[in-house]
Amino acid sequence: MPIRRLPEHLVNRIAAGEVVERPASALKELVENAVDAGATRITVRLSSGGIDRVEVIDDGCGMSAEEMALALERHATSKLPDDDIEGVETLGFRGEALPSIASVSRLTLESRVRGAEGWSRIVDNGDLEEEGPAALPPGTRVLVENLFAKVPARRKFLRTPRSEYAAAADTIRRLAMARSDIGFTLEHDGRRNIAVQPGETRPERVAALTDRQLIENSVAVDYDRGTAKLEGVASLPTFNRGVADHQYLFVNGRPVKDRLLIGAVRGAYQDLLARDRHPVLALFLTVPAGEVDVNVHPAKTEVRFREPANIRGLIVGGLRHALDEAGFRSVQRPSAAALGNWQAEPVEGGVGQSSTAYPQGYSSEHPQPHQQGHPQGFQQRAAFFTPPPGSDQASVWDGAPEYQPAPEGKAEAAEAPVPDAATHPLGIARGQVSETYIVAEAEDGLVIVDQHAAHERLVLERMNRAVAEGGVASQGLLVPEVVDLDESACDALEERIGELAELGLELERFGPKAMLVRATPAMLGAGDTKGLVRDLADEIAAYDQHLSLKEKLDHVAATMACHGSVRAGRVLAVAEMNALLREMEVTPHSGQCNHGRPTWVKLGHGDIEKLFGRK
């Protein structure tokens, strides 16, 4: 069979198969080019999720007519001036993207170098259609239409415009996070969905692209380990989500998707957060170019670290450090929903629209349900106060507060004078409610603490500190235990032998399909060694993280913590309450219980005023 050199247009189309698989990937290449061109504002317009049309306009350096012709040729790039592929600092470097996209779509490239004339070049599925002068502001405009119109095999695999759009928006979000100095706008079918200004700080940018409230509920990560550096923002454990969709990793400025992040984040937030809750975070990792290989896949979303364990350690360490610094902070304000429960009842016959929302039978059976101290009325209040679904919360906020029967909890007179409150963020204990909650007065509001959750947390933290400082003691086994596992599980465990030994588990490879256990963490007692090792192997396979061992240790710690804790339902003296508050202020992570729920909430003066309709 004769061997032949493939014609240029076929080579491009094959390359396109790798670089461009959907509108979002074409978009990514174009926006990266704009970033590389030094743009300060980048505008993106999409139609039908980008299937019909992707347009990227930048105000970057632009290209001359000759450069434009070259740019559309394969392996033509301005970004590797000296063959140093290791040291590349631009997002692009292959000189592959434009020709690839041009080979599977109708591509219009318009560009103008400042102080020169603009030029336009239109390429239709690889063939030059027309070129000539164009009028445009300095910068570049790329328009990609009818992607894959002539590649039915690809076109068939495109998803609905909606999910193509979701992927495209994710791409923009990641790139916009990576470069908070650049302004981005994203319009889809005529609607502007993302607009961020140039020159924002990183936390502002991340919050703008994820959740505005992140600003108040996050910690800054800034962790320098010599050659490697981790920066970014991470939400407090109490600010969490049901899905791990808002977790972003950037390596040397490049957005990447890597499973390593999932495991490391889990590791860092572990025991601060329930398993099914996830923090919001954006982490920016800077490592020497030699430590990471970005040339793994043409789309550049995957990277390969030379020492993945170090990187994982850096991320866990950096996050943990930042969270430790945050100390007792947690979500500072009660959530809107919780505040809803503080609402006062509207005046009798007052705001009409809300009375219709009362539970049935209210008006006929209990025309005046809240007779003072009436136990029934007390009970029912909970139901009344919950805003009916869909009702406008603000409307029920108005109205006079009803008379509140004295709560049954006793409020001891506080002995400490108020001035102290200024120096104590969690305030001065004023009393205890239901023998479960401590009520304290802080300088800026009212603090309510769940005494059991708070104390349990303090004890666990104390114990964790012991583990951290003293290392994990391990107990040798009289007869080393042989655990049969499959070969890949053994390989995975063997790779982690060093780390596991630090946690007190001493393993040795024992033939191809078994591990020998010489010592186990002393905290676990004479437990089920085989089970532990098996769980561990599973866990490592799933997350490449030795969590289950740590989890087991934590579980022991947590169980002991629970036993050693003040139960709900115990009456505390004011001195005891204050001692608890003071300890919380200086203990890391005391703002949330072991399941990520807050241990305390603060009702600011503003919130209190709102409750009484003064604001």
Partner 1 sequence: MKATIERAVLLKSLGHVQSVVERRNTIPILSNVLIEAVEGGGIKLMATDLDLQIVETVEAQVEQAGATTVSAHTLFDIVRKLPEGSQVSLEAAEGKMAVNAGRARFNLSTLPRDDFPVIAEGDLPTVFEIPAATLREIVDKTRFAISTEETRYYLNGIFFHVTDDDQPVLKAAATDGHRLARFTLPRPDGAEGMPDVIIPRKCIAELRKMLDELDGTVEIALSDSKVRFGLGTAVMTSKLIDGTFPDYNRVIPTGNDKLLKIDPRSFEEGVDRVATIATEKTRAVKMALDTDKITLSVTSPENGTASEEVAGQYGSDGFEIGFNARYLLDILGQVQGDAIEVHLADAAAPTLIRENDKASALYVLMPMRV
Q: Which residues contribute to the site for partner 1 (CB under 8 A)? A: 462-463, 465-466, 468-471, 473-479, 481, 504, 506, 519, 522-523, 525-531, 556, 560
Residue 545 CA to residue 542 CA, distance in Å, equals 8
Collect all residues with Cβ–Cβ distance below 8 Å to 574 and sequence separation of at least 6: 412, 414, 415, 429, 431
Nearer to partner 1, 530 or 610 (CB): 530
Nearer to partner 1, 244 or 497 (CB): 497
Smallest separation (angstroms) from partner 1 to the CB of 506:
8
Nearer to partner 1, 361 or 525 (CB): 525
Question: Contact between 369 and Mg ion (CB under 5 A)?
Answer: no
Angle, CA of 302, 306 and 307, to the nearest 5°: 110
Smallest separation (angstroms) from partner 1 to the CB of 556:
7
Nearer to ligand ATP, 16 or 584 (CB): 16
153 binds, among partner 1, Mg ion, ligand ATP, none (CB under 5 to 8 A by kind): none
- Per the CB < 8 A criterion, the answer to whether 593 and 456 are in contact is yes
Q: At what angle do helices 547-563 and 529-543 cross, to 10 degrees?
A: 120
Question: Contact between 33 and Mg ion (CB under 5 A)?
Answer: yes
Nearer to ligand ATP, 69 or 568 (CB): 69
Please identify, among the stretches 32-40, 309-317, 365-373, 499-507, the one whose residues bind Mg ion according to the rule CB under 5 A: 32-40
Give the three-state DSSP class for 300.
coil
Question: Contact between 78 and ligand ATP (CB under 6 A)?
Answer: yes
DSSP string, 443-455: TTEEEEEEHHHHH
Give just the sign of the alpha carbon dihedral 545, 549, 552, 557: negative
Give the three-state DSSP class for 412.
coil
Question: Contact between 97 and ligand ATP (CB under 6 A)?
Answer: yes
Count of CB atoms situated within 10 Å of the CB of 117 = 12
Residue 271 CA to residue 593 CA, distance in Å, equals 9
Nearer to partner 1, 347 or 473 (CB): 473
Collect all residues with Cβ–Cβ distance below 8 Å to 143 and sequence separation of at least 6: 53, 54, 55, 107, 108, 110
Give just the sign of the alpha carbon dihedral 63, 64, 68, 73: negative
DSSP string, 515-537: EEEEEEEGGG-S--HHHHHHHHH
Residue 141 CA to residue 120 CA, distance in Å, equals 9
Residue 482 CA to residue 529 CA, distance in Å, equals 9
93 binds, among Mg ion, partner 1, ligand ATP, none (CB under 5 to 8 A by kind): ligand ATP
Smallest separation (angstroms) from ligand ATP to the CB of 141:
8
Nearer to ligand ATP, 29 or 441 (CB): 29
Please identify, among the stretches 30-38, 243-251, 343-351, 498-506, the one whose residues bind ligand ATP according to the rule CB under 6 A: 30-38
Please identify, among the stretches 25-33, 223-231, 348-356, 565-573, the one whose residues bind Mg ion according to the rule CB under 5 A: 25-33
- Best CA proximity match to 168, nearest among 183, 143, 186: 186
Please identify, among the stretches 76-84, 225-233, 308-316, 356-364, the one whose residues bind ligand ATP according to the rule CB under 6 A: 76-84
Smallest separation (angstroms) from partner 1 to the CB of 539:
19
For the segment 99-158, give every residue that binds ligand ATP (CB under 6 A).
Answer: 140
From candidates 55, 59, 96, 554, binder to ligand ATP by CB under 6 A: 96
- Best CA proximity match to 598, nearest among 237, 82, 146: 237
Nearer to ligand ATP, 33 or 240 (CB): 33
345 binds, among ligand ATP, Mg ion, partner 1, none (CB under 5 to 8 A by kind): none
Compute the residue count for the chain: 615
Nearer to partner 1, 373 or 471 (CB): 471
Site string for ligand ATP, 31-70 (x = CB under 6 A): --xx-xx--------------------x-xxxx-------
- Best CA proximity match to 312, nearest among 268, 349, 376: 268
527 binds, among Mg ion, ligand ATP, partner 1, none (CB under 5 to 8 A by kind): partner 1
Torsion region of 569: left, alpha or beta (phi above 0 gives left; psi -120 to 50 gives alpha)? left
Question: Contact between 25 and ligand ATP (CB under 6 A)?
Answer: no
Residue 100 CA to residue 126 CA, distance in Å, equals 8
Backbone angles phi, psi at 477, to 5 degrees: -100, 135
Please identify, among the stretches 74-82, 156-164, 475-483, 567-575, the one whose residues bind ligand ATP according to the rule CB under 6 A: 74-82
Smallest separation (angstroms) from ligand ATP to the CB of 25:
11
From candidates 15, 57, 93, 312, binder to ligand ATP by CB under 6 A: 93
Nearer to partner 1, 556 or 562 (CB): 556
> Where on the chain is the footprint of ligand ATP (CB under 6 A)?
29, 33-34, 36-37, 58, 60-63, 71, 76-79, 92-98, 140
> Where on the chain is the footprint of Mg ion (CB under 5 A)?
33, 92, 97
